[in-house]
Amino acid sequence: MSLAQDPIISAKRGLNSEIFGYEQLLRAIGQALEREHLAGFELSASRDEFLVRVGPALNENLADKPSSRSNFQMLWDRLSNRGNKAVQLRYTLPDIQRLETEGRAQRGGSHRVPNGSSLSQEMRCLGACLDQKRARLIKLTHDGDLFVLEYESSLGNQMKESYDAKELYDMWVRRYMQRASRANQQIAAES
């Protein structure tokens, strides 16, 4: 399937201007996932949704997080005690738009610096890489400090790249400084 025919890319362009690329899509999913304190997951993009698989092999220490026992964690505990089955979370584009809106409301007008090593910011950087390459996400795997990004390039080649937490943090710092510089330039131009 070509990028022009990709329903996710086409739908992203059709959503309110709140979400217009993988950078925002992956950050919103990352915000939802980081609330669950996941050690690992596998995210795949299908025709019109993102599927996140969390399983015993991907997330052995989920039960070791006693604080804030969420519904997801209780579900995971039940399933893991019944044959170590995987849990699959499904995010449609409207779900992601809702997550982005909720995330924006929580951030509000806050001028605090986000945590560059948070899962949502790491996924945001990976999404920015995809957007910059004009690529289509196939799969994103996260295991501890390592992310493996599989995508289809704009030329139709399937690519696979690995990023560790330090690389993503350095990328985040560069992007943050660029955004801050642009904001300062805009303020100077308006005065």
Range of the domain at 47: 3-190
Determine the pLDDT at residue 74.
56
Do residues 55 and 18 touch, judged by C-beta distance below 8 A?
Answer: no
User: In the prediction, which pLDDT does 116 show?
Assistant: 75
Nearest CA-CA partner of 103 in 32, 166, 156: 32
* Residue-level pLDDT at 164: 94
Per-residue pLDDT of the chain (191 residues; tens, 9 = 90+): 544 445 455 454 444 334 469 999 999 999 999 888 777 899 999 878 999 998 765 544 444 444 444 555 555 555 555 445 678 899 999 999 998 888 878 766 556 667 777 898 999 999 999 999 999 999 999 988 899 999 999 999 999 999 999 999 899 888 888 877 777 777 778 87
Number of domains into which the chain is organized: 1
**How large is the greatest C-alpha to C-alpha distance in the chain, in angstroms?**
64
The DSSP bridge partners found for residue 137 are 151
pLDDT on residue 86: 75
pLDDT digits (tens, 9 = 90+) for 48-98: 899 999 876 554 444 444 444 455 555 555 555 544 567 889 999 999 999
pLDDT at 82: 47
Residue 72's pLDDT is 57
- In sequence order, what are the residues at sequence separation of 6 or more whose Cβ sits closer than 8 angstroms to the Cβ of residue 147? 122, 126, 140, 141, 162, 163, 164, 168
Please, are residues 137 and 23 in contact by the beta-carbon 8 Å criterion? no
Predicted local confidence at residue 177, as pLDDT: 83
Distance CA 168, CA 38 (A): 18
Q: What is the structure's pLDDT at 18?
A: 42
Q: How far apart are CA 6 and CA 47, in angstroms?
A: 7
